Amino acid sequence: MTVQAQAQEGLTRTQQLLADDPLWLVLLKVVALFAIGVVLTLFMIVLERKVVGRMQQRPGPNRTGPGGWLQSLADGLKLAFKEDIMPVMADKRVYFIAPVISTIPAFVAFSVIPFGGEVSIFGERTVLQLVDLPVGVLVVLACSSIGVYGIVLGGWASGSPYPLLAALRSAAQVISYEIALGLSIVGVILYAGSLSTADIVASQSSGWYLLLLAPSFVVFLIAMVGETNRAPFDLPEAESELVGGFHTEYSSLKFALFFLAEYVNMVTVSAMATTLFLGGGQWPWPLSFLNANGWLQFIAFLIKMFIFLFIFIWLRGTLPRLRYDQFMRLGWKVLVPGSLLWILTIFAIRTYRTSGAGNVTTLLVAVGIGLAVVLVVAFLVPDRQVEEQVVELASDYPVPPLDLSVPTPSRHKLRARPVDAGQVRKPALTGGPSAKETEDV
């Protein structure tokens, strides 16, 4: 017993509460996490179709259930009853296990997310979190890197060229964007002084890292879209290039599992972004009195998470898909060097502050003066002259002139013509003489 007490001395409050959880509470949390994952997936699919529909000026699904909100439930049930096809060329075992590999890590990553504060469930004080490992952030990274195995193996095992291409893309994509993702987290870890998700949330009580570490946040935001294979980075399932991508040959429940994994991954990275940069379940200043209740913190967490999920949908409705080399260039030549530079800056600032060589104000003023000088010089340097290019008309093909201006229709044609009383106007193109012709006669 004394050993146990000694072991608990080094633990934080969250870890103590979690270590005291009875088995039934742990099981309850596991089931709740699973339910959250599945329900959010169903909800997100409908929400995505509705929001993208509104963005394209159409209503989206509105038939099944109240307001069409049960559409994805119906789709899921339909998927379960579809025929499960095993392609002849498939590698049977790998083909079978690939969707499972992609789904399980997606749910495992849920376990370290701090959904809210301290609450009491059936009289037991606990925290809305399954585990709080000292390396919690790494769990999410590890899970995402294992989950991609499902995509890669599924594409390979299908025994068909398009899925194989998608698998290749996915493998390269994950290797490159995981680096950017990891580097963007470094800043947060430096400021929080811990890899535990609960500690990171607690360290943001004075201010969110969104403001303090804005460049890290931007890199994380881009890299998380790349990591979850979502538009505009959905190259492994580019339907205009690769049919269906890695899941072209999949059907029935296996296909549903891939779908589930994709959406749960979206929820997970959104939750991670909330945890790392938006202060987890903490309400912002005017509402900060709400932080006393753990369940209200849970609501704040959900609101912030849905902001990110909406951004995912928004991106999909707005941006065209990147070409593969553009995507790789963005990752390796912009995100990785950019975040390395930013980390160097953070190191410099922290070293300056801890060494006590001077106060922060003088540093900021000096940096500001330097920036101003650079800007002034940049404005004084004349622009490079871009020579006008003479486009020669290539061949006999009819090419419109470059200075073509579309003629505006003359006004009298636009004016509404008064309809003569007693004369029925027949619609054009019905075979009879058009109204214009009758008038002429």
Please give the angle made by the CA atoms of 188, 190 and 195, to the nearest 5 degrees: 70
CB closer to other proteins, 10 vs 407: 10
Instruction: Tell whether residue 127 is a contact of other proteins (CB under 8 A).
Output: no
Return the range that interacts with other proteins (CB under 8 A); candidates 133-141, 243-251, 278-286, 364-372: 133-141
Integer CA distances (angstroms), 189 to 98, 207, 280, 340, in order? 33, 15, 15, 14
Tell me, letter by letter, the H, E, C secondary structure of 338-362: HHHHHHHHHHHHHHHHHHCCCCHHH
- Can you tell me which of 113, 164, 224, 335 binds other proteins, judged by CB under 8 A? 164
Instruction: Tell whether residue 386 is a contact of other proteins (CB under 8 A).
Output: no
Instruction: Tell whether residue 146 is a contact of other proteins (CB under 8 A).
Output: yes
In angstroms, give the least distance from the CB of 3 to other proteins.
Answer: 5
191 close to 213: Cβ distance less than 8 angstroms: yes
Instruction: Tell whether residue 132 is a contact of other proteins (CB under 8 A).
Output: yes
CB closer to other proteins, 152 vs 302: 152
Integer Cα distance of 402 and 387 in angstroms: 17
CB closer to other proteins, 47 vs 153: 153
x-or-dash string of contact with other proteins, 319-338, rule CB under 8 A: --------------------
Instruction: Tell whether residue 395 is a contact of other proteins (CB under 8 A).
Output: yes
Residue 331 DSSP one-character state: I
Placement of tokens 């951004």 in the chain = 311
Put residue 28 in one of left, alpha, beta given phi > 0 → left and psi -120 to 50 → alpha. Answer: alpha
Return the range that interacts with other proteins (CB under 8 A); candidates 166-174, 282-290, 293-301, 313-321: 166-174
What residue ranges in 68-123 does DSSP mark as E strands?
118-121
- Can you tell me which of 53, 67, 76, 159 binds other proteins, judged by CB under 8 A? 159
Nearest to 114 by CA among 136, 126, 104, 129: 129
The count of other CB atoms within 10 Å of the CB of residue 166 is 30
Instruction: Tell whether residue 441 is a contact of other proteins (CB under 8 A).
Output: yes
- Can you tell me which of 1, 3, 378, 414 binds other proteins, judged by CB under 8 A? 3
Structure tokens at 3: 């050993």
CB closer to other proteins, 7 vs 365: 7
Instruction: Tell whether residue 439 is a contact of other proteins (CB under 8 A).
Output: no
In angstroms, give the least distance from the CB of 211 to other proteins.
Answer: 26
Instruction: Tell whether residue 94 is a contact of other proteins (CB under 8 A).
Output: yes
Site for other proteins in 170-229 (CB under 8 A): 171-172, 174-175, 178, 182, 195
In our burial notation (b when 16+ CB lie closer than 10 A, e otherwise), range 350-367 reads eeeeeeeeeeeeeeeeee
In angstroms, give the least distance from the CB of 147 to other proteins.
Answer: 10
Return the range that interacts with other proteins (CB under 8 A); candidates 50-58, 159-167, 227-235, 327-335: 159-167
What is the total count of residues that contact other proteins (CB under 8 A)? Answer: 47
What sign does the dihedral 141-147-151-153 (CA atoms) show?
Answer: positive
Integer CA distances (angstroms), 43 to 9, 263, 264, in order? 42, 10, 11
In angstroms, give the least distance from the CB of 185 to other proteins.
Answer: 12
291 close to 282: Cβ distance less than 8 angstroms: yes
In angstroms, give the least distance from the CB of 378 to other proteins.
Answer: 27
Structure tokens at 192: 């929080």
In angstroms, give the least distance from the CB of 139 to other proteins.
Answer: 6
Instruction: Tell whether residue 156 is a contact of other proteins (CB under 8 A).
Output: yes
Site for other proteins in 10-39 (CB under 8 A): 11, 15, 18-19, 21, 26
Task: Collapse the DSSP code of 120 into the 3-class scheme (helix H, G, I; strand E, B; otherwise coil) and give the result.
Answer: strand
CB closer to other proteins, 41 vs 229: 229
Site for other proteins in 416-435 (CB under 8 A): 431, 433-434
In angstroms, give the least distance from the CB of 210 to other proteins.
Answer: 24
- Can you tell me which of 145, 203, 252, 293 binds other proteins, judged by CB under 8 A? 145
Length of the chain: 441
Residue 288 CB burial class (10 angstroms; 0-12, 13-18, ≥19): exposed
Instruction: Tell whether residue 139 is a contact of other proteins (CB under 8 A).
Output: yes
Strand partners, 82: none
Nearest to 155 by CA among 145, 165, 146: 165
User: H or E element: which one contains 124?
Assistant: strand 124-127
User: What are the residues binding other proteins (CB under 8 A)?
Assistant: 3-4, 7-8, 11, 15, 18-19, 21, 26, 91, 94, 131-135, 138-139, 141-142, 145-146, 148-149, 152-153, 156, 159, 164, 167-168, 171-172, 174-175, 178, 182, 195, 394-395, 397, 431, 433-434, 437, 441
